[in-house]
Amino acid sequence: MSVYMGEQGLISLQRTAVGTGANALATVLEPSDVTVADKRFSADFPPSALINGDRIEIATQDNSNLQLVDGHDFPDGNWFCHIDKAGGIRLYDTFADAVAGAKGPALALIAPAESQPIYIRNRDETFNCVAKTTEWSLTTQREAVDISVLGQSFRDQYANGLISGQGETTAFWEYRYGRCDSDIDLTEELSNYYAQLLLRLEQGALFKGRFFIYACSPAVWYEADCVVTSVGFAFQPGQPIRTSVQFLTSGEVKLIVGEPERYLRQEDLDLILQENDGRIRLEEPD
């Protein structure tokens, strides 16, 4: 019988949000909101609504062509965003450029000819491993429900009980982005992102997590939508700063054995996209 060590586990997360449908961030883009020379624009919602590195979809509410990114003549588009200290937003083609926030790589903008109602939603499908994670735990439990007073149709629905989960992770605190050493995920996410999530009111504190028990091939991991409920920091002279995060699962919890999806990338590790912005898998399922 094999014995597996804790060094073979890791956490990866997908940035997500409640900002879909009726809960999307809605605003009106005015010509004066766009500063073409600085490649930035502003919106009338708090800066905490978006987090640097978020991949967002910007779409017009009336399905007319979006007048914002120079040369983009479609009703919507997907880009990575960076929010500066004044609340201004810059758009980028890559995650790395977005978290850096430099003016040079930012996409050139144009000012709309007139007021344009728009939606902004999170649309990130990439899983990034959480850097410098030192330990994590996940507990799943089945809650027994008293169904003796329910009708037969409701008994069938609740007879198996309700599955829920909760967990905690500890990591060394970091704010500089880099690359993960894992073969599974290439771009790293920072533990500081949990703290930013907890403070985000407009789109909630959701993330989709993959909790790898064994990150080699074939891998074994839990996958679930999660909500951050608590973030703490520990300071001690002469010791690295640690952050402790508590979360609850939301919805279905899966235990998967297999290979996470892998996609074609360029030499700079950016994804190669199809014409519909979909990612190209390295191996298509049988």
Mean pLDDT, 10 residues at a time, the chain of 286 residues: 82 75 78 95 83 90 94 93 90 88 94 93 82 90 62 52 83 71 58 84 82 89 92 91 92 87 50 51 46
**What's the DSSP call for residue 37?**
G
Taking a C-beta distance cutoff of 8 angstroms, is the pair 247, 167 a contact? yes
pLDDT at residue 148, rounded to an integer? 58
pLDDT score at 28: 94
Sequence-distant (≥ 6) Cβ neighbours of residue 212 within 8 angstroms: 8, 9, 10, 11, 12, 184, 219, 220, 221
Q: Produce one character per residue of 17-54: b if its CB has 16 or more CB atoms within 10 Å, e if not.
A: bbbeeeebbebebbeebbeeeebbbbbeeeeebbbbbb
- What pLDDT was estimated at residue 269? 43
Whether 226 and 191 have beta carbons less than 8 Å apart is answered as no
Contact (CB, 8 A) for 61 and 152: no
What pTM was estimated for this model as a whole? 0.70
Beta bridge partners of 28: 117
